[in-house]
Structure 1
């Protein structure tokens, strides 16, 4: 039996709404994208929601809309998908990394102030794997230095910090909807914010820089084609109707893993901050020192068990090394954690039988190291 790393949860509702769009003949700039925006705005409690074609595009628009440019700095984490830093480079600014907390894997908030300079223009925390960063401390520092906070909540829709939804704390938040996310539109992303001026600029940027009166071929700034198509939006509207069901299913799968893996001494399970409510994007375990993660991964893959390292440190990506001269040892906690992480198969419809199969395979592969 092959068990994939991820698999989207698509029902007849999703199929029906996508077919509704196809039958309508209006495949772009239609009502479904607007409906999807309204759903996200209502869910998060934001005044505005700007749908676009990816989480990367959403982050890029925010960086540009805030006027972050050449030589500016944005404080963020090296333990993330590379897009959370690339969006800063798109505007020729510089991501300034701080190391992570070894338990939560989010940015170590005690290090933020030491990295703030006169060139710092924003803080960009990432809610890694669906666990919110310490937003209390991040906002406290941001207010002290009058810095905007851009929440990369691409992996964290439905997560909460002290009872408040991720994405609703900062100047703006971003969600992404790739097929392995909790909610999917195939490809897609969205910005949520209460800032009317920021929202207006982002609405314009995603549609080739058109003015907000949307006059045909009237462009008031340099923009992009970052629009979300109607088929993707329809898929998203169906998923948002089911979001509580989806999040509950993922919680149940995570609970199975947590219970069934707890007695394996070579494994470090996810640590959830007491103030956080997790929205499970992936299920990532870590191995103790002496267990070769890559060897474990190869063994599981040979058994048909989908698995991948999460994440490779951004600062050690070849382009970043070439561009900035980063070296091994620059962010030791990130590097140590990254060498031991492994994402296991995780999706809504993963059965207990399949979870048991994954765990049997892990136990058998671990025998090599005993």
Structure 2
């Protein structure tokens, strides 16, 4: 019997509803005390001094790039296998993204390629923790230290992830987490910058609020800024979700383990790789299909059976705008391109039941048998 199994579902309960309702009953809907509470809770959780809540992960990345003073003529080394904002945030300030191909197992930036990409124009490294699996931050930190480079950590998919026991976002110049409804915790829309740098936190805090300094008048603007603020309702939802984060991560780990157990011996499928020194914060559950299998056909078949699924990601360098602007072509980053045509995200959320997992696995097996 056909069922509907959506790709993702937010996990919002009575605690979250009460928190948001409490804000709606207050005098503060924006720029109030709940934002400050959310920022403190995030900073304490990650173990950093400062957190700056914003209206999206993209906004957070943009503010860091601008806050570090990066601009035209500068270069930042990053990955072409990511959501497009991790590269677009550089172009907003006319900084050139310099791509390094990815590791075929983790799908994160291949650290061995970073050194050869460094030039006199390189100002930073921007790793992305793809799907919640931390990048090799130990080696990235070492390269950055020896080369005098900043690290901008795109941890938008990885709150709670750890490498060598250390939380993602805790050691770079600045990191960003995002809270779209399919993330581990959600604020509806929203994100947060975390950093130990007082100067950077202050600049980002000013720029998110139209360039106003703390304590300045409403029409006093010290620098170019933006309306990148998070509202109080979103922050309230975030506080309630953050209080449940440990349980949420356990739930997602359990769903991922069940998938892996059921898919491990399925011909034509490779389950997600997990490195030996990392703790994955499961954002999505993405399998790899063998090269002879047409991933797009599999997606159509699964969708027709009511199973939500999606390709993750399309190579940034092959997006039409990037090809036109920089002359990229197929073959430039072969590992990324091979991953892009073979990855398949299966339904994944906190409360996915064993019956739903079995339905997905059974139907995937039937579809793959046609190949």
TM (norm. structure 1) is 0.99
State the shift of 1:327 in Å. 0.1
How many positions carry a matched residue from both structures?
369
Runs of 4+ in 1 over 6 A off after TM superposition: none
Pair 1:132 & 2:117 matched: no
Q: List aligned pairs for 1:39-58, cutoff 5 A.
A: 39-58=41-60
1:368 alignment partner, SS class: coil
Alignment of 1:1-370 (within 5 A): 1-369=3-371
Per-residue Cα deviation, 1:28-62 (whole angstroms, up to 9, x for no partner): 00111111101100000000000000000000000
Q: Distance in 1 between matches of 2:140 and 2:199?
A: 23
Is the partner of 2:369 in helix, strand or coil? Answer: helix
The Cα offsets for residues 211-260 of structure 1, whole Å up to 9 and x where unpaired, read as 12233221100000000001111100000010001111100100110001
* Alpha-carbon distance between aligned partners in 1 of 2:48 and 2:42, rounded to the nearest angstrom: 8
Give the distance between the partners of 1:29 and 1:159, measured in 2 at CA: 29
CA positional deviation for 1:26: 1.6
* Deviation by residue 1:267-312 (Cα, 9 ceiling, x = unmatched): 0111111011100000000001211100000000000000000000
Whole-angstrom CA distance in 2 between matches of 1:75 and 1:290: 32
Structure 2 residue matching 1:26: 3-state secondary structure: coil
* Residue 208 of structure 1: how far off its partner (Å): 0.2
Q: CA deviation at 1:71?
A: 1.7
State the secondary structure of the residue aligned to 1:342: strand
Instruction: Specify the SS of the correspondent of 1:17.
Output: helix
- Superimposed CA distance per residue, residues 302-327 of structure 1 (whole angstroms, 9 cap, x where no aligned partner): 00000000000000011111111100
2:46 & 2:16 partners in 1: Cα distance? 22
SS at match of 1:85: helix
Deviation string 1:97-154 (CA, Å, 9 cap, x unpaired) is 0000000100000000100111111100000000100011101110111101011000
**Inter-partner Cα distance in structure 1 for 2:323 and 2:291:** 26
Report the Cα distance in structure 1 between the residues aligned to 2:35 and 2:283, rounded to whole angstroms: 24
Q: What's the TM-score, normalizing by structure 2?
A: 0.99
Q: Structure 2: which 5+ residue stretches go unaligned? A: none
In 1, the alpha carbon distance for the partners of 2:277 and 2:161 equals 11
